[in-house]
Amino acid sequence: MRYGHRPKRDKRISTHLALVARAFGADEIWFDEKDQNIEEKLEGVNRTFGGGFKVKTGVNWKEALTTCKEQGWCIVHLTMYGMPLPQIVKSIRREERDMLILVGGPKVPRLFYEIADYNVSVTNQPHSEVAALAVFLDWLLEGKEFQLEFRGGRLKIIPSERGKHVEALGGGNGEPC
């Protein structure tokens, strides 16, 4: 969940946050402010490159946090004031429940710190929430994001030492042309 999304001001950073969440294995991303533009952009990425990643905007953050907590989800808050990631990641990996990862742009409400099961820092210095999410998910998944398969797109990137190699797939449903 991205708290503090400002559609007119944060277009690129919020889009990048959604792209990182998608590429690193999250199922969906929620934004507190309604933003049809970001929803459409990520739907386009899914059509082109595959996957079922979802974007929900206009989510009431307080209701979402309360509901997730009541349903037993593990809530992780990424903040430079938390416990260092290397010290806490093993405990988080052992969690066997749905997980809500909180990232904020502006000053977050105190409730984030109180409701979170884990307040996690990816360094104790200010930097991008995009970087924090990418590093956190990489550590959490131990590099397994490189094995993810995104089916149903029109294009598939073929790893290559040099140049760009793309396989065209048929009709946006993952079938070869």
For every one of its 177 residues, what pLDDT tens digit does the chain have, with 9 covering 90 and above? Answer: 999 887 766 778 889 999 999 999 999 999 998 999 999 999 999 999 999 999 999 999 999 999 999 999 999 999 999 999 999 999 999 999 999 999 987 788 999 999 999 999 999 998 999 999 999 999 999 999 999 999 999 999 999 999 999 999 975 554 443
Q: Is 106 helix (H, G, I), strand (E, B) or coil?
A: coil
pTM over 0.85: yes
Instruction: Give the pLDDT of residue 38.
Output: 93
Tell me the C-alpha distance between 41 and 75, whole Å: 27
Tell me the CATH number for domain 2-146.
Answer: 3.40.1280.10
Q: Output the pLDDT for position 3.
A: 92
Do β-strands 74-84 and 118-121 pair in parallel, antiparallel, or remain unpaired?
A: parallel
Residue 54 near residue 81, CB atoms below 8 Å: no
- Identify the three-state secondary structure at position 118: strand
Q: CA-CA distance, 143 to 8, in Å (whole number)?
A: 34
Asked if residues 55 and 2 have their Cβ atoms less than 8 Å apart, the reply is no
Q: Which alpha helices (DSSP H) does the chain contain, by range?
A: 11-23, 36-49, 61-70, 85-93, 110-115, 129-141
Backbone phi, then psi, for 86, in 5-degree steps?
-60, -25
Q: Are 133 and 24 in contact (CB under 8 A)?
A: yes
**Amino acid identity, position 21:** A
pLDDT attached to residue 177: 36
Q: Residue 122: which of 12, 9, 44, 20 has the closest Cα?
A: 20
